[in-house]
Structure 1
Amino acid sequence: MKIAPEITYRNVEKTVAIDSLIQEKIDKLERVCNYISSCHVAVEKTHDRPSSGSPYRVRIDITVPPGQEIVADSNPGETNQYVDVDTVIRDAFGMAQRQLRELARQQRDSDKSKDNNQADDTTGLVTKVFREQGYGFIKTLDGQDIYFHRNSVLHDDFDRIEVGTGVRFFAEEGEKGLQASTVQIVDKPGHRVNESNQTLIEPPLGWEE
């Protein structure tokens, strides 16, 4: 995740058990979608001593490149029994997980459609990889060097990336300028980044297949 998860409590005592449950659920979300940009979880108590339903509300706001936002809001109304905060948290994260799965499916379908139509995306060649620090740089067709982080690489493929790897990605504004998101490997090092007969970007100096 590009930005550390933010968890806020309003009229609810923060406990180790609640915090651990939320962290566990966030980890599961990242297994569903490993390129989440940010996640904000708000836990609040809206009223005291209800005869039924729940006094708790949990809202989860998630952003996913390129500019997608997911909101999951759980605030059980009148039910036959009291609903505790753990149950409301689980319910909210269940909503978020279903939405993330659907978004990931739509993005995969979109990628397949683009591949089938040989659509032109933003493509480039990896020119620098700092594996221990978890980031690198991509050179675009117009010669720009764009930063990318390991969390932006789809399918946990950061460790497969080498200098010369062809990638497709979205460019978006970050805190320090343009950066790549949803980075996807499209060809092995030193080869073409699509099926045409033209090499879009020359391999870096010193590159040997």
Structure 2
Amino acid sequence: MIMPVPLQITLKDMPQSEAVESRIREKAEKLNRFHERIISCRVVVESPQRHQHQGKLYSVHIDLSVPGAELVANRAQDEDVYVAIRDAFGAITRQLEDFTRRQRGDVKTHTAPDA
């Protein structure tokens, strides 16, 4: 049985949104496919102040804890909050896949050639 991901969602400088929180929950649950022992997942969605030349940019920061590692995705920004969420979860998923492969020993380590 797959346990639900322990999830903490924070929306900063923007109104509470059930739709945004629901999308985050959906994305977080899919992380179980890549690692079954997720300790915690903290997601912060922030709507910073307006920039001079562009509209609001939503930024999404994800801290994911698994046994032996703390993974972070914090560069996802977009004018569309859902695109920023998608990009952040895409980044954290890639990190989680890489970490899981390294743990299983699927990644070959390169040894220095003998001189």
Give, in whole Å, the separation in 2 of the partners of 1:46 and 1:75: 13
Q: State the match for 2:105 in structure 1.
A: 109
TM-score, normalisation: structure 1: 0.45
CA offset at residue 46 of structure 1?
A: 1.1
Task: Identify if the C-alpha distance between structure 1 residues 50 and 105 changes in structure 2 by more than 3 Å, giving closer, same or farther.
Answer: farther
Conserved in 2, the CA contact under 8 Å of 1:62 and 1:70? Answer: yes
Structure 1 residues 75 and 2, CA gap change in structure 2 (3 angstroms)? closer
Q: Is the 8 A contact 1:2 1:38 kept in 2?
A: no
1:184 maps to none
Whether 1:44 aligns to 2:46 is yes
Higher strand share: 1
- Does the CA-based 8 Å contact 2:50-2:56 persist in structure 1? no
Higher helix share: 2
Instruction: Judge conservation of contact 2:43–2:62 (CA < 8 Å) in 1.
Output: yes
Q: How many residues align?
A: 104
Return the index of the structure with the highest Cα Rg: 1
What does 1:84-163 correspond to in 2, within 5 Å?
84-109=80-105
Distance 1:56 1:64 in 2: 26
Point out which structure has higher relative CO (alpha carbons under 8 A, 6+ apart). Answer: 2
Q: Percent identical across equivalent pairs?
A: 39
Unaligned runs of 5+ in 1: 77-81, 111-209
Residues in 1 aligned to 2:52 and 2:83: alpha-carbon distance in whole angstroms: 15
Question: Normalization by structure 2: what TM-score?
Answer: 0.79
- Counterpart-to-counterpart distance in 2, 1:37 and 1:55: 29
Task: Report SS of the residue matched to 2:100.
Answer: helix
Say whether the 8 Å CA contact 2:12–2:46 is kept in structure 1: yes
Structure 2 residue runs without a partner (length 5+): 107-115
